[in-house]
Amino acid sequence: MIETIKKLFGMGPKADLGQVIANGGVIVDVRTPGEYSGGHIKGSVNIPVDVLRSQLAKLKKDKPVITCCASGMRSASAKKMLEASGFTEVYNAGSWFALKKFEK
């Protein structure tokens, strides 16, 4: 029961995002282009959450996807959207700052 509640609120076991990136994970920054141009993770893809559904073809369902934004709210929505569209390995990193330590 507790595990179900944790999963509902995205509080499940934390993934090693560094390992996910090393294994070919794609970072999708779902902020606006203006926010993205103000700073982002090198190598990330900018697909704003409000156009994500129409841009799904830019992503491969067989690759892990890590979503990020400014605070974690939009990236959580993006994660749910991707999962509903058939993506099986999706991680919400929250703020893009959380991924800075993995930047190459």
**pTM for the full predicted model:** 0.86
pLDDT of res. 15: 84
Cβ atoms of residues 93 and 73 within 8 Å: no
pLDDT of res. 92: 96
Q: What percent of the chain has pLDDT over 70?
A: 88
Q: Please, what are the domains in the chain?
A: 16-102 (3.40.250.10)
pLDDT of res. 5: 46
pLDDT of res. 58: 96
Residue ranges in the chain modelled with pLDDT below 70: 1-13
pLDDT of res. 103: 84
Instruction: For the chain, report the end-to-end CA distance as a whole number of angstroms.
Output: 40
Q: What does the alpha-carbon distance between residue 15 and residue 22 come to, in Å, rounded to a whole number?
A: 13
Q: What does the alpha-carbon distance between residue 6 and residue 15 come to, in Å, rounded to a whole number?
A: 14
Instruction: Answer left, alpha or beta for residue 90, where phi above 0 means left and psi between -120 and 50 means alpha.
Output: beta
DSSP state of 25: P
